[in-house]
């Protein structure tokens, strides 16, 4: 099969499109004919060696966490899927989605939303699960609460705005000037142009601040966080890590960070929201698998609006 592999850590040029052996599945896995994947920052962070302590030094590696495609075979212990099912979900760390076929655990995929293309479906799992688990599990979001999403036009942010609205919150989205209309169209009740205003100096206060781009900390945002509010980030800096430890044992404001946990139950929840037209997918660009290096390079600029899809 064709796949994009890396044989060492480095810049986008280490991504090579080549022939590799098709994966063999274990009893609890599906063999999926991958129709599409997507690019998440964690993919190129692994590629660059930023997570080498976790990813290890064994090569070659096939990266790519998100997959959407068709089941072609199932392991002896699989009970929820059969060949021919269209699915979406995640691969195991450190990936495997940048290939024509992937071996995927049964418990981290779900049937694909019927109203999404494969490219759209592949843009959902990691980013939308991150947004959902941050707001629902870490933030304990409640109907009527005020929520601010920093990075509202990014890969995680687009889903966070829509999920917060679907869960009944009043949403403020922070983005650049050119993306304000998009953020409004996703359901934000209010938008802040970060090129004109620092949200941390706003007059409003929020129950939850979800920093989907990991640019701030609790200490920088506490003035606009309610007395019992929660600051959540996807990128725990040493400062945020310390804040999370300290605030865990004290009353008042909390700092939390998130490590996304792939699971079928949450994918089914997202599927319901998508099929009810409460979540739509925003794709900035779609690249063929052969041009994955260009897709990674574009993601690294930080200028992508929504997700970058990979057609396979």
The domain ranges of the chain are 2-124+281-311, 127-257
CATH superfamily placement of domain 2-124+281-311: Medium-chain alcohol dehydrogenases, catalytic domain (3.90.180.10)
Is 127-257 in the same CATH topology as 2-124+281-311?
no
In the structure, what pLDDT confidence band is assigned to residue 134 with cuts at 50, 70 and 90?
very high
Q: Domain 127-257 maps to which CATH number in 3.20.20.80, 3.40.50.1100, 3.40.50.880, 3.40.50.720?
A: 3.40.50.720
Predicted confidence (pLDDT) per residue in 140-172, tens digit:
999 999 999 999 999 999 999 999 999 999 999
Read off the pTM.
0.96
DSSP readout, 62-76? ----EEEEEEEEE-T
d(CA 113, CA 107): 17
d(CA 211, CA 252): 19
In the structure, what pLDDT confidence band is assigned to residue 92 with cuts at 50, 70 and 90?
confident
Predicted confidence (pLDDT) per residue in 200-235, tens digit:
999 999 999 999 999 999 999 999 999 999 999 988
In the structure, what pLDDT confidence band is assigned to residue 2 with cuts at 50, 70 and 90?
very high
pLDDT at 86 over 90: yes
What does the pLDDT average to over 97-116? 98
What does the pLDDT average to over 100-107? 97
In the structure, what pLDDT confidence band is assigned to residue 249 with cuts at 50, 70 and 90?
confident
Measuring CA to CA, which residue among 109, 99, 31, 25 is closest to residue 60? Answer: 99
Task: Name, in order, each residue with C-beta under 8 angstroms of 57's C-beta and a sequence gap of 6 or more.
Answer: none
In the structure, what pLDDT confidence band is assigned to residue 259 with cuts at 50, 70 and 90?
confident
DSSP 138: I
Predicted confidence (pLDDT) per residue in 176-201, tens digit:
999 999 999 999 999 999 999 999 99
In the structure, what pLDDT confidence band is assigned to residue 258 with cuts at 50, 70 and 90?
confident
pLDDT of 108 reads 97
Contact of 143 with 107, CB cutoff 8 Å: no
pLDDT at 237 over 90: no
pLDDT at 8 over 90: yes
């Amino acid at each position: 099969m064709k796949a994009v592999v890396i044989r060492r850590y480095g810049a986008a040029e280490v991504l090579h499109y080549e022939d590799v052996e098709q994966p063999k599945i274990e009893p609890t896995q599906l063999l999926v004919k991958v129709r599409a994947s997507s690019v998440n920052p964690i993919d190129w962070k692994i590629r660059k060696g930023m997570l080498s302590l976790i990813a290890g030094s064994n090569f070659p590696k096939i990266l790519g966490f998100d997959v959407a495609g068709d089941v072609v075979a199932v392991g002896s212990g699989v009970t929820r899927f059969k060949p021919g099912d269209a699915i979406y979900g995640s691969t195991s760390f450190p990936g495997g989605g940048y290939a024509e076929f992937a071996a995927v655990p049964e418990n981290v995929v779900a049937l694909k939303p019927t109203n999404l293309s494969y490219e759209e479906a592949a843009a959902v799992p990691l980013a939308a699960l991150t947004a959902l688990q941050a707001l629902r599990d870490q933030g304990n979001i409640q109907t009527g609460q005020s929520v601010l999403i920093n990075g509202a036009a990014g890969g995680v942010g687009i889903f966070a705005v829509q999920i917060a609205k679907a869960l009944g919150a009043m949403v403020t989205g922070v983005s650049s000037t050119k993306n304000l209309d998009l953020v409004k169209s996703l359901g934000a009740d209010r938008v802040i142009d970060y090129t004109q205003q620092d949200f941390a100096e706003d007059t409003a206060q929020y129950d939850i601040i979800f920093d989907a781009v990991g640019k701030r900390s609790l200490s920088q945002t506490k003035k606009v966080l309610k007395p019992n509010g929660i600051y959540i980030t996807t990128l725990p800096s040493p400062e945020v890590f310390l804040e999370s430890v300290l605030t865990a044992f004290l009353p008042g404001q909390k700092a939390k960070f998130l490590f996304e946990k792939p699971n079928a139950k949450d994918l089914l929840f997202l599927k319901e929201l998508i099929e009810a037209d409460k979540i739509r997918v925003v794709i900035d660009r779609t690249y063929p698998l052969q041009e994955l290096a260009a897709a990674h390079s574009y993601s690294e600029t930080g200028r992508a609006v929504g997700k970058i899809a990979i057609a396979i």
